Each structure stands twice: as C-alpha cells, then as structure tokens.
A and B are shown apart, each in its own frame.
Chain A
Amino acid sequence: MPTLTLYDAVGAALTEEMRRDSSVIAFGEGIATKRHELVDEFGGLRVRNTPLAEGIIAGTAVGAAATGLRPVVDLLFAPFLCYAMDELVNSAGKLRYLSGGQFSFPLVTLAMTGAGWGVGAQHNHNVEAWFVHSPGLKVVMPSTPADAKALLKSAIRDDNPVLFFLDIGLLYQPGEVPSDEQTLPLGRAAIVREGQDVTLISYGKTVHHCQRAAETLAGQGIAAEVIDLRSLKPLDESTILASVRKTGRLVVVHEANRLCGIGAEIAALVAEYAFAALKAPIVRLGGPDAPVAASYPLEQTSVPQAADIAAAAERLCSAQPA
C-alpha cells in the first residue's frame, strides 16, 4: 500500500475525482501554484488560482455549484472562512431550502486549522462547530491520509456543501493510503480501537492523542474504546451511543474551544439518550476560551494531550458509582 502525507492524499483524491467527473473544478488561493500537477493534467481552466478574496472565491463556488459544476475551493486557513461566511452560511446553506429545493450546492471548501505551525489565532482557529450549527452544511475533519482521501472523494460526490477541515499538525504526517478508488461515507465514525471500560471520542489530531492514551490505559488494565468521528455533520450518533452504552464512561476530546464545541453536543446527546448507562460523569477535554498563541509551548498547551486524556479516563474508571 503506498504511503502518502495527508496533503498528498488530498491531491490524490482531487486527481481521481477530476478524472472521473469533468464537472469537478478546483480553485483557490494558490492551488494552481502548489498543486501544479493538477494544472498539468486538467488545464488552467479547471484548476485556477484566485485573488486572495475568500468571499468571492466561496461565492463563485456557490454560484457554480448551483448551476452544474462541482467546485472544490481552497481557502487556506480556517479563520479566513470569516470572509466567506455569508456565501457559505447564508447562500450555500440556505438557498436550497428557501428556494423550495430548486437548487443544490455540491461544493467542497478546504481549510487548514489546528496547532502545529505556531501561526497564531488568525491562522489557527478550530471553527468547525460554527458550521455544524448552520443548517444545510456538512462538516468533515479526517485524522489520517487514508481517511482524508476517501472522505474527500465522497465530499466531492456529495450534492451538498461540505466544509473539509485539514489538521495542520497532521498535514505532512505520512500514512498508508489504498491506491484503489475507495470512498468512505460521510457521517460514519470509525471505532479505531475497541474496549469495554471507557469511550474516548475525538476527531483530527486528538484522535492520535486518544490512541496513545488508550495504550497507556491498557498498561493499567483499562480497556479504552477510541472513536474517530471523521464527520462532525452528519454526526454518527448511533456509534457514539452504542459505545457509551457498552462502556458506561465517556471522555470527549477536541482541540477546539470546549465552550459550545462538538464535545458539548456529544455530551448532551449521551445525557439525553444513554443516561442510564453512565457509570460516571461525562468529561470534556478541549481548548480554552482564548485565542491560540503563536508561541509553540503555549500553542501545544491549548491542545489536550495523551497524558491529560489518560488521566481523565483513569479518574472515571476509579470513581465509585454513585
């Protein structure tokens, strides 16, 4: 099986989907420069650089998607999505509904986020929950190159607008990627490690932190189940609930601000539908309600680490039932 970085897995997905469907086009801030192999294969009309103007990039994608093309746009860093919010939230997310179903918006927006490069809060802000809260959109954030390729292929084929977040810290991590045209359905989580004692749920780079925590916990006789959400919207509620009903304990982990983050939704979901199965309170580990600092040690401190996760899970497992 070939080994690719997550960045190259994105390129592989784009290449395969552009070969498969001539209506797929890609444009954005430097995409034709950085992914010149796409220009070589598909030409400068289907792969275009754009002005550094996120609003018109997103708006152009929305207009093109509604009228027959399947655009993939690269807006570089997630905080730049603020400039594209109107087009994505008010147009892509709402005009299908407001028009009585006359239009669909098959478009994918790529944006990088997360700790790893010390770029500070205007380039690193995990804003994925904003889009989960907005109707009409789908939200994906993969944790491995193989998932990135398979999920991006599905996102491009999806008839809805998809926000596709790339974790900066994982971007150049290599991983095995199947060379076949494998896709993964949006909205299905992966159980990346099975266990009976505690459920660790995460997405993006903190999935790997959960896996390391699970190894530590195994040494202490605690079998942790690790779930990688992969898609934040649709959210795979049944996998989450089934796991918590089995283990009775839940730690939700993400790098984004804990306040009103995805973890809050998952905690509420479990409290509503699996309360009787809980043997201990739900724990949420997330970033602080503060902008992310550029200073590397501070940046890392904002991310839940494997030791934090293991300690939280251990506390849950040692707590006496009420």
Chain B
Amino acid sequence: MHPSPPAIDPRQLLEQMLLIRAYEEAIVAGSAAGKLPGTCTSVGQEAAAVGVVNALEADDLILTNHRSAGHLLARGADPGRLLAEVMGRRDGYCKGRSGSLHISAKELGVVLTSTIVGAELSLAPGVALSQTMLGRPGIVVCFFGDGAACEGSFHESLNLAALWNLPILYVCENNQWQAFVHRREAMSREHVADWAAAYGIPTRTVDGNDVFAVLGAAQAAAAEVRDSQRPYLLETCTYRTRGHLEPDDQGYVDQAELAAWLARDPIAACRDRLLADGSLTPAQAAALADQVSTRIAIAQAFAEASPFPAAEELCRDVYA
C-alpha cells in the first residue's frame, strides 16, 4: 500500500475554488466587454475539479478538455499565464496559440488537452502506456464530461485500459449538459459509472458539489489505481451553471433545475461548513476573498501587458 496522502488544509480547497470562480468571472466580464473571446466556463463545477486535483501527486499526469480552468488552477497554474493564453498573448502557456480551449501545461503535468469531445479519452491509454512501459511512478487522470461518455472513444478507451491494465483514473464530471442537450436526452443510463462497470472497472459516484466528498473519493480512487495499476472511474455529479459557452442566456434550461443546483453552490457549501466547524473565521473568509481578488487583478494586468505573438510565429511548431 502507498502511504496515506498528507492531510489537506480545508482552507486551501476553499481558496482554490474561490480563485477558479474569480478567474472565470474575470473572463466573463472581459468577454462581455469585448476584451477576450467567450469561453466554456467551469462555474458551478469547482468542487469537482479541486477535490480530484488535490488528491493527486506531483508526478501524476492530467488530461483535460475544453472546460479546464478548474483543473489547471487547482494544479497550480498561474492565472496570469492562463488569462494571457485566453487572450491570445505571447506569455500564455501555449504562446497564445491555444486560446481557452486546448490549454496544456506540461510543466504542471497537464498534457494533451483537446477540445474534441472524447479525444481526452482516446489519448489517455497511450499516456498511461508510457508511464508503465517507461517505469514512471505517476498515474494518469482523465477528466471528461457526460457528453464525452456518449462518444465511442469512451467505450474504446475503457475497454483497452481494462484489457491492458493501464493506471488511469477516469473522472467523469457529469454536469448534466452536453453542449445544448440535457443528459437525459442523450444517455440511456442515469450514470456514466453504469457503463464503466460493464468493462469490469471499479466505480464510484459522488456528489460533485461537495469538495470534501470528492476529495475523499478521489484519494481512495487514486490509491486504488496506484496499487492495482488498473483503471477506476469516479463520477462527480455536478452542474454547469453558466451554460455552454459565454455568453449563454440558458433560455433552454429548466429554471427550477438550475435554481436547485445554484442553491447547492459548492463554494458557499464549503465556506459555510468551515465557518460552522470553526476552521475558518468570518475575518479569514473575507481575507481569502480579498487575496483571490488581488491575484486575479495582478493576473489581468500581466495578461493585458503581454504582447500578441509576432507574425513570424504563424508557422512555427507545426513540425518537430
């Protein structure tokens, strides 16, 4: 057995969620002001991202998708370089070529981000194959949504990972929406985990808006993947509260359903719990919020000061 992961300061989880929310809100405001393009925000899904990423070790590798800000920031990404990337600036993690949709940060172990829904599932077995064949310690974590689970690549990936004993923690962020289609209209089963079970892969479904529940489940799942060197699927049930792509008026969303999920906001729930159990004082909560605001303001200034890539960059890095 691997040693138990070090205890995580719950205030760190709250701070990360606040940072993600503030980052996304800065993008929404910038987009509304015409300063940057609209993105697929992770608002409402912060706990699902923070809970899982905090269960990982430094040498684990993450594959993510178009809704990746939570994963990147929880992994320690610099919000200034992320914003620079979204704005197409030179100092972005991908030199401004990715925009918001395919941000990879190899230095953080966030690799091969693809915005083709399901591609993360297609690429994950190869990354895990490298880990095992090259004798590297880290496991592979693949974040995808319920939409990707409806792609053939989900089924092909799980089959191969089970067949070849690949150490992949599949994390389905079931946010109830597949672009503009509700999950109920697209899935023959209630839970993505039901499908994984058919491949002999252990699964767990957890409340994705409870960061402590997600963290605990992810720690157990990651430990199982490390020990068994086999895949595992964790399904975090959450909700995409700002729609698909900014701006999205969500006129197609059942307002009662949206209101019910907004009432279960993962950040408010975490803060209330920490205040209630005494691990956070109201003054500390206010200070955390201020710190996060300051970081985002600095990040915005950095991104706006970063130059656009030079025209000579157009055809660089096409070939190795």
Contact = CB atoms under 8 A, between A and B. Distances in A.
Interface of A: 23, 25, 45-46, 48, 50-51, 53, 55-56, 58-69, 71, 86-87, 90-91, 95-106, 135-136, 138, 159-160
B163 A90 contact: no
Contacts of B160: 50-51, 53, 56, 60
Nearest to A158: B320
B129 A64 contact: yes
Contacts of B129: 25, 60, 63-64, 69
Contact of A55 (B94, B96, B153, B316): B153
Nearest to B105: A102
15 contacts: A53-B160, A56-B160, A59-B123, A59-B125, A63-B112, A64-B126, A90-B114, A90-B116, A95-B112, A98-B94, A101-B317, A102-B105, A102-B106, A135-B318, A160-B319
Given A55-B122, A103-B106, A160-B320, A66 B97 contact: no
B293 interface: no
B127 interface: yes
B130 interface: yes
Contact of A86 (B113, B116, B124): B116
A59 B127 contact: no
B271 interface: no
A95 B318 CA distance: 9
Contacts of A98: 94, 97-98, 102
A103 B111 contact: yes
Contact of A96 (B105, B114, B318): B318
Contacts, number: 150
Given A63-B124, A63-B127, A90-B119, A55 B156 contact: yes
B134 interface: yes
Contacts of B106: 99, 102-103
Interface in B150-167: 152-153, 156-157, 159-160, 163-164
Contacts of B316: 101
Contacts of A105: 320
Interface string B87-114: 0000011111110001011100001111
Interface of B: 61, 63, 92-98, 102, 104-106, 111-114, 116, 119, 121-131, 133-134, 152-153, 156-157, 159-160, 163-164, 316-320
Q: Which of A25, A65, A97 has the most CB of B within 10 A?
A: A97
A66 B122 CA distance: 13
A99 B133 contact: no
A59 B94 contact: no
A51 B159 CA distance: 9
Q: Considering residues B104, B134, B320, which has the most beta carbons from chain A within 10 angstroms of its beta carbon?
A: B320
A55 B95 contact: no
Contacts of A86: 116, 119, 122
B317 A100 contact: yes
B102 A95 contact: yes
B156 A100 contact: no
A98 B97 CA distance: 5
B126 A53 contact: no
A96 B111 CA distance: 11
B159 A97 contact: no
A66 B127 contact: yes
Contacts of A25: 129, 133
A105 B319 CA distance: 9
A40 B227 CA distance: 30
Contacts of A56: 122, 125, 153, 156-157, 159-160
The 10 closest A-B pairs by CB, nearest first: A63-B126, A59-B122, A100-B95, A64-B126, A56-B156, A101-B317, A159-B320, A67-B130, A104-B320, A63-B123
B320 A100 contact: no
Contact of A59 (B95, B105, B153, B164): B153
Contacts of B127: 63-64, 66-67
Contacts of A87: 119, 122-123
Given A55-B122, A103-B106, A68 B130 contact: yes
Given A51-B159, A56-B157, A59-B153, A66 B125 contact: no
B319 A99 contact: no
Contacts of A69: 126, 129-130, 133-134
B92 to A, nearest CB: 8
A105 B123 CA distance: 12
Contacts of A23: 134
Nearest to B96: A100
B119 A91 contact: yes
A96 B95 CA distance: 12
B125 to A, nearest CB: 4
Contacts of A160: 319-320
A62 B134 contact: no
Given A63-B126, A96-B318, A100-B317, 7 more contacts: A50-B160, A58-B122, A62-B112, A99-B102, A99-B104, A99-B113, A138-B319
B219 to A, nearest CB: 24
A59 B104 contact: no
A312 B4 CA distance: 76
